Structure formats: structure tokens, C-alpha cells
Structure 1
Amino acid sequence: MSSPIRVVVTGAAGQIAYSLLYQIAKGDVFGADQPVILHLLDIPPMMEVLGGVVMEIIDLALPLVTEIVPTADPTVAFKDVEAAFLVGAMPRQQGMERKDLLSANVKIFKVQGEALDKYAKKTVKVLVVGNPANTNALVCSRYAPSIPRENFTAMTRLDQNRGRAQIAERLKVNVGQVKNVIIWGNHSATQVPDANSATVDLGSGPVPVTGALKNDEWLKGEFITTVQKRGAAVIAARKMSSAVSAAKAAGDHMHDIWHGTAPGQFVSMGVLSDGSYGAPKDVVFSFPVTIENKEWKIVQGLQVADYHKPLLEATGKELLEEKAEAIEVCEH
């Protein structure tokens, strides 16, 4: 057994954390032989509920959990953590615009950035799940200047998982046979799901998804809009936002940061843009990345279809607008 690592989950009494904590505690994220000390942060009114969550984690009787630290104090929550899941944010409710979320949530992520800067390990890997995730990750990194900006990523893995699942359903194959679906841009309705570099194994090795589907119209239209609007569709049906699928995606994302991507495969995550593929610089933009030694690298040289180019431009523009708005909120 290695020595335990400290992992913080914010919004720990909420729906997403409820599913995520089980994955972490069981070893699905950091490894079957990696003990964890769980730091659980939530707001003071949620402390009683958080107490119930702590009881359940204890009752799981999972040997990897060596200690649980429930708290409403960011100084305690972020102390010496090596991995941070920033889940806690004002949830999006039916009929709510992302802009309404933005002004409420960027302030939370400014405070958490400052706390990470002061108390977390400088090697901490930070995953932002709370929406608007890309811009929250950017804000968080701005207020944690002593931590490398590359250590802050935003979750578009849920969108990638949704895209893979749509293709698998369409081709009537197991989702495990579909690889390298890309999500470009913002985790919002402007995101650009792209299957043009994706492969599917139909039994004799991977072939391009485009060739297997033989349906460009579906890929240009319904595939994109279904993935873009899936979150809203779940809210409409469940009267709550995606929880178990979001938790699974957060676990997948951090697992890949910790353990790296498989050879020949890449994953989508919101990372600090260097201008690749014409994206605006200095925003958190979702790209296909490979990961090795806990460091991500944007996959270069992929073909972007002509019909995707205006969509990439639109999602980049939205991120620049969100960034300007967020900076204004934080500085006033």
C-alpha cells in the first residue's frame, strides 16, 4: 500500500458527490492500492446532510478510506490536497440561462482558487465540474498563481461519454468499442461534438466511425444537437441535473490524469488554450488530449471538417464573452 493522498470534493453533500465519493473510496479513480483521506467541503447549512454522507462512507467499510474530514472551512478542506474535485456550485435549474449561473458561480471559484493557492500542494490536480465549468476553471487558476495553470482542467468528459454512447447506440455496438470522440470548446450548448477522428471496432480492429455509419447527415445534425442538449433533456425528464453520469465522468477524467491515456487513444478535457486549431488563447477550451506522467498534451494534426469550423468559432467566442464577464464580476 502506498501512503494515503488527500482528495477534496466540494459540494460534498450534493447529488454528484454522492455517486463520485463511492468511486473514489472504492479505488476506481486513483487505483485499487491507493489509500485516500477524503476532505469533504460544503456550506454551513449542509453540515447535517454531510454528516449523513460521512456515515454512509463509514458504512461502506472500504479499506482505502483512511480518514474523512467533513468541513465548511476552505482552509481545512484544501490543506495539503493532491487532487481536487470542484463540484460545488449553484446548480442550473430548469429555464435558467448559463449567464445567470456565471455571476453567482465565478465568485465561489475565486475563493476556492485563493484557498488552493494558500493551502493545497503545488502539484495539486484540479478538476472543475461546477458550471460554467470552463470559465470557473479559468477563474480558479487566475487566483492560484503559485500552482501551474496546466493543473486546472474542466470537465467535458460527460459530453464525450454521451457522444460515444450515441454512436454505439446508432451502430448497435458496445460503447467500449467506440474510441476517440472529441468535444471541442465550451461545456455548454455551443460545444462541438466531433466523430470524424473516432473509431469503432466491429470485430476485426478499429475502423473510422464515419465509414461504419455511412450517414454524414446524422453526424452533421442530430448527433451534434443531441449531445449539446442532453443535459437539458435530462433536467426536463428528471427535474434535476445529471448526477450519476456526471460523477462517472468526473471519475473517468481524474483517473486518466492519474494513470494516463491508453496508447492510440485520446480524451476530451477543458484545458488552457494555446491557440491550437484556431481556438482563442488564454481560455479553458476543450481539446482532445493525451496524458502521460500526469501531464496533458493537446493532440495535433487532426482534421477539422469544414462544417465544424464555424461551430468552433462560435464556442470560442462564447468562452471569450464568459471570460470578460467573469473578470468583471471578480474585480468588482
Structure 2
Amino acid sequence: MAKFVLAGRADCPYYAKAELLADCLQKNLPDFQIHKITQHPDNWEKWLQEICEKNGWKHKRSPIIWRELLDRGGKGLLLGGFNDFLEHAQHYYNVTSDMMTAEMRQIAVENLQTHIDVEQEEEELKSLIDPLHIWINRAAGHICYHLIPLLANGEIFGMETEVSLHLLDRSDYKEVLRGVVMEAEDLAFPLLRSVSLHTELDGAFLQADVIILLDDILQETIPTLEDCIQQVMAQCKVYGPLIDKNARSNVKIVVMGKTFSNLKTLMLMMNAPSINPQNIVTLALLECEAKAMLARKLNMHSAGIKNLIVWGNVSGSSFVDLSKTELYRYDSAIWGPPSFFRPLLDVLFDREWMRSEFLASLGSLSCWGLHCLGMAPAHVIATVLRYWYQDSPPEEIVSVGVISKGQFRLPEEIVFFMPVRFQNGSWEVLTELEISEKNQEYLQILACDLIREKQVALGEIDELYPRRKAPFLTMEEEEEVVESTSKVEINITSSGQVHFEETRAEEAEGLPDDLTELKSPEEENVEEPADVTEVSSYHEVSLSNLE
């Protein structure tokens, strides 16, 4: 019996013709057996080269056919390409094919779609056998403790997807990790396949489907913001190649923290070049904090506040956009069905409160490491992951730090918080949203922070805030921006705690009228376990659309 192997691109018309001819021979000849191999067009050349090198064959064009001779111990004998196979079939079996080109192409299209469908089915079946591997760094912290039940209860990835959790932290916290692992196992979640602890970086992020990177820039004394940026850069130079090497190609990465999170996300993209930048995002608490404050002011549930937008750099300068914010189930004289909403700015008339108390409270809350025990950040991470895997609710806007591709006329290749919507396992920036010229101007000013952070990280400049330049404005406008922005100095106390001091010039006329600036808290004492202090960059919050 002769066994033939037919291999080709799934979309190749010649493969379609050879395939049908081989089917005819196998059906009518008892000693003829055919085995088919199709490859996606994107993978064909690489696969073909590997096969030819392995068997010592000359590289052939698509498709190829080889004959496996049983009397030679199964060694392959290459017959060649499509024409060689036609000649072989006609010479030995007196069989020819008169298929027309149009029919060949039509069958090739059907073959490609079938190949894609089969691959998707195999991935789904594999997911039922192989659990989703989730890696969390700084896993001994409070956030991870609250995050584990949310990841394992089935609400994020689906009730049929098992998960394996990999907890990564420094060796100093090994005993803490052991306790977390034991407690997670005690939960006995049906979908939690395994929980493991890791303190070595060599095998970090192996086979990772999801990576959650929490703040772990820890040092007893950090004299300047520039030094902190260099530590972020050094960390990304370690994590990036590990992710590139060990994680799966479609891994989803979430960065959460208060220490240059936008910059950290960008540096990870640069140091893990094989990972799609669309799969790396950064998150912040500012949106949830703002909703909670508005809910308390309006005496309503914060879940009824939708489409509040955060723009900019959540570790530096950002502003809260209330122009699209909607209120659902608001207790007032006007009632409607669940889909009925009222614009926030039509209900909340206390603009003075918004310009003063609202902004001041957001500024103090933005240093969430001072008071946060991890419940709120864990909820934010879980919510965004659920949207990523199961789509965000229709018409709902989510603020996420993503790579800029020039949306809203922003500079490219920076990570900027923008409004997005999750759909079909991906996200898209809502570029159809209209923003005023004043806000557009302010977006570009906010981008200057991120540009300077990137320049410091790459060694292009030495100081982060000697003066802020706005490369998108005229020289006169630049001077106004420089006068209106803050200069930050950082001092380290004898106990190793960080003290921030900020001075501000009077507002320049070049800034938008409807934007109210807020200074950072004058002092931030950051408490960390094991007498370690974590530094966060200064935070500035602004408010837009109060006209």
C-alpha cells in the first residue's frame, strides 16, 4: 500500500485541485491512501521550510506531495509539487483532472474558512483541558488578596473556563505567599485548577494567558522622580523580555499602580516587541473615586453613574470629563424605564462644589496607596478583564490607558487614558466622541507630561520638570503653559518617607476657561510592609466642562 501526504496552504487553488484528485484516487484504488495537511497562509512558509530542512528536501512551492514508502521503514520520498503529482497520477493510475480555475478558487476560499473554523474549535476544546494561566506580580499585597476570588469564581472568564493562578513576589514574602496559596485552596472554587507561588524570575510568566502587574517599585530612599523613572525602566527591561519569551503570544497584560503606570505600560510594550500593544493596558481608580463622590453628593447609587471619562496621565496630570456623564435611576421628579437617563450637568448645579471640594477630594484620594486595602483596585481589574473577555455593556464608556495612534490629535507612541469600548476580545477608542477645542488644547498639554517621562526613561533628557514645554503650541502659548504648570520638589525625611512640595504660578490665560487646576497634597506618607517605602509621582487633577 502506498501512503501519500498532501500538504499546502489552506487558500491555495492548486491544493484544492490536488486534494480532489487525491480523494478520487483513494476512493477508487484499494492500495492508495492520502493524508492531508493544511496550514494557514500566514504559517505556511515557516512550516514548509522546517519540513524541508528536517527531511533534507529542496524548498518547494505550494503545494507539496510526498510518498511514504512502507518498505523503507516509513522514510518519506518527495514527489514534488502539483505538476509532479498530476504526472504521477496520470502515469501510474491514468487519472487526470479537468477542474477549471474559477472552481479551484472557490474551493480554496471554502477550504480556508473550514481551516479557520477547525482551528477555533480545537482552541475551544483545548481551553477546556488546559486552564487559563493567570500571573500576578506583587502577589503578597492587599490587592491580590481581594482579586483571587474574583478571578476564580467564573464571572470574568466564563463558567466553563478553569484557571491556574501563579503568584509572584520577592523571596522576602515567601511565607506570606504560602498563606495566600493555602487560603485560596481553602476556597474550593470548582474552576480554580491550581494555585502556585513563585519567587524566582527565571520561569516567570510561563504560558501566561493573563498577566496582572501591580506596583512593586520598592526602595527605602528614592531621592528624585528621575531616579524612580529609571527604576521603572530597569524593571521593564527585566519583565519585558521574560514576557516576550515565556508568555503566550496573545497574552493580555493589565498594569495597575500609582508609580508612573502610563510610562511603565509604554516601556513594557517597547521591551516585549512580539506582544501586540493592543494587549497591554493600564488602569486607575480615579474614575471609580469620582463616581463615588458624585453619588454621595446626589444621594444615589454610584452604579447608576455612567460615561464619566478620565483623560491623561493618572500618575501625573489628568482631568475628569463630565460632559458625557449620564445618571440612571436617579431619584427625582422625572422617572422612566431602566434605559432612561439624565445628563449629570443638567442635574448637578453646584459648580462651586465641583470646582473646590470635588477636586480637592479627588486629589487626596488619588494617592490611594495611603488608605487603600485593595478592594477597589481589585474590582477595577476584575471589571475591565470581564469586559475584555465578555464585552463591555452597550453604549458604556470605560477609561483605560492605551497606546496612542494619533486619536484626538494626540502624539503617537505614548500611553494615554482615553475612552474605549470592549468588543469581541479587543478594545477600540471612541474617536467619534466630540470634544471642545479648549479640551483638545488641554489634552495636548497633558501629553507633554508623558512625553517628558518617556524622554527621561530613554535618557534623552535628564530632568523631568525643569520646565514644561508644549511642542504643539506657539512660543507665546508655551510660555503661558510653563507659567501655569506646577514644579515639584521631592525631599526624603530621615525616616525614609517621601515629602512632596508643589508651587504653582497664577493661572495663565492660555489655559481653557472651564478647567480648574488642583494642587497635589502637600505631604504623602506612604506605608509599606517591612519598613519599605514606595514612591508615587505627584498627581494633579483637573475638571472640564463646567460651563
TM-score by length of 2: 0.55
1:91, distance to aligned residue in structure 2 (A): 5.5
- Paired residue for 1:138? 266
How many angstroms does 1:66 deviate by?
A: 0.3
CA contact (8 A) 2:222 2:228 kept: no
Q: 1:155 to 1:56 in 2, by over 3 A?
A: same
Bigger shift: residues 142-151 or 41-50 = 41-50
Work out the CA distance in 2 between the residues paired with 1:267 and 1:99. 31
Deviation of the 1:69 alpha carbon: 2.3
Contact 2:316 2:449 in 1 (8 A): no
How far the C-alpha of 1:132 sits from its partner, in A, is 1.4
In the alignment, does 2:388 pair up with 1:253? no
1:51 is displaced (CA, Å) by 1.0
State how far apart, in whole Å, the 1-side matches of 2:422 and 2:183 are: 33
1:322 paired residue number:
453
Given candidates 220, 223, 226, the residue that maps to 2:358 is: 223
Per-residue deviation, residues 169-221 of structure 1 (Å, max 9, x unmatched): 12111111110111101112411111111100124211111111123444455
**Residue type of the alignment partner of 1:33:** E
Q: Give the whole-Å Cα distance in 1 for the aligned partners of 2:391 and 2:438.
A: 31
- Specify which structure has the bigger relative contact order, considering alpha-carbon pairs within 8 angstroms and separated by 6 or more residues: 1
The 10-residue stretch of structure 1 (110-119 or 310-319) with the greater mean CA deviation from structure 2: 310-319
Structure-2 separation of matches of 1:255 and 1:129: 16
2:178 pairs with 1:51:
yes
**Residue 242 and residue 270 in structure 1: after superposition, are their counterparts in 2 closer, same or farther (change >3 A)?**
farther
Q: Secondary structure at the match of 2:315?
A: coil
Unaligned runs of 5+ in 1: none
Offset, 1:94: 12
Alignment partners' CA distance in 2, 1:218 and 1:309: 25
Q: Which residue of 2 aligns with 1:151?
A: 279
Change (3 A) 1:153 1:44: same
Tell me: CA distance 1:216–1:93, structure 2 relative to 1, closer, same or farther (3 Å): farther
Amino acid at match of 1:326: A
* Mapping of residues 153-168 of structure 1, within 5 Å: 153-156=281-284, 158-168=285-295
Deviation at 1:223, TM superposition (A): 3.3
Kept after mapping to 1: 8 A contact 2:207/2:247: yes
The C-alpha deviation readout for 1:64-85, integer Å capped at 9, x for no partner, is 1101221123342311111110
How do 1:226-245 residues align onto structure 2 when only pairs under 5 Å count? 226-232=361-367, 234-235=368-369, 238=371, 241=372, 243-245=374-376
Partner of residue 194, structure 1: 321
Which residue of structure 2 lines up, in the alignment, with residue 89 of structure 1? 216
Deviation at 1:262, TM superposition (A): 0.8
In structure 1, distance between residues paired with 2:223 and 2:390: 37
Determine if the alignment matches structure 1 residue 172 to structure 2 residue 302.
no
Which residue number in structure 2 is paired with residue 213 of structure 1?
Answer: 348
Amino acid aligned to 2:387: D
Partner Cα distance (1:198, 1:161) in 2 = 13
Residue type at the aligned position of 2:265: A
Q: Cα 1:302–1:12, aligned 2, differ >3 Å: closer, same or farther?
A: same
| Per-residue CA distance 1:78-106 (angstroms, 9 max, x = gap) | 11111110114125999997555322223
Asked if structure 1 preserves the Cα contact closer than 8 Å seen for 2:262 and 2:315, the reply is no
2:421 aligned with 1:295: no
Structure 1 Cα separation of the partners of residues 262 and 310 of structure 2: 13
Q: In percent, how many aligned pairs have the same letter?
A: 28
| Distance in 2 between residues matched to 1:317 and 1:53, nearest whole Å | 41
Q: Is the 1:188–1:228 contact (alpha carbons within 8 Å) kept by the matching residues of 2?
A: no
Over 3 Å counting, the alpha-carbon distance change for 1:176 and 1:310 in structure 2 is same
3-state SS of paired residue (2:347): helix
Which amino acid letter does the alignment assign opposite residue 168 of structure 1?
A: A
Runs of 5+ consecutive residues of structure 2 not aligned to the other structure: 1-126, 461-547
Q: Distance in 2 between matches of 1:124 and 1:75?
A: 18
Range 73-82 or range 281-290, more displaced: 73-82
Q: Which amino acid aligns with 1:229?
A: S
Tell me which moved more, 308-317 or 120-129: 308-317
Amino acid at match of 2:143: I
Cα distance change, pair 32–95 in 1 and its aligned pair in 2 (3 A): farther
Letter in 2 for 1:105: V
Question: Structure 2 residue aligned with 1:67, among 194, 199, 203?
Answer: 194
1:22 Cα deviation from its structure 2 partner: 2.2
Asked if 1:266 is matched to 2:369, the reply is: no
How many residues are aligned here?
324
Tell me the TM-score normalised to structure 1 length. Answer: 0.89
Q: CA deviation at 1:254?
A: 1.6
Match of 1:213, SS state, is coil
Name the SS of the counterpart of 2:134 in structure 1.
Answer: strand
Query: Are the counterparts in 1 of residues 277 and 403 from structure 2 also a CA contact under 8 Å?
Result: yes
Q: Deviations over 1:292-318 (max 9, x none)?
A: 112111012323356644542332111
How far apart in 2 are the matches of 1:17 and 1:55?
Answer: 14
Q: Look up the SS of the partner of 2:458 in the other structure.
A: helix
User: Residues 6 and 235 from structure 1, CA distance in 2 versus in 1: closer, same or farther, beyond 3 angstroms?
Assistant: closer
Comparing 218-227 and 5-14, the one that deviates more: 218-227
Structure number with greater Rg is 2
**Partner Cα distance (1:136, 1:248) in 2:** 21
Q: Which residue of 2 aligns with 1:2?
A: 128
Distance 2:438 2:357 in 1: 14
2:40 matched residue in structure 1: none
Write the deviation string for residues 132-165 of structure 1: whole angstroms up to 9, x where unpaired. 1111110011111111111110113x21111211
* 2:406 aligns with one of 260, 265, 275: 275
> CA deviation digits over 1:214-266, x for unaligned, max 9?
2344445543443343133x555x3xx55221121111122211111111111
Higher helix share: 1
> Is the contact made by 1:26 and 1:64 (CA closer than 8 Å) also made in structure 2?
yes
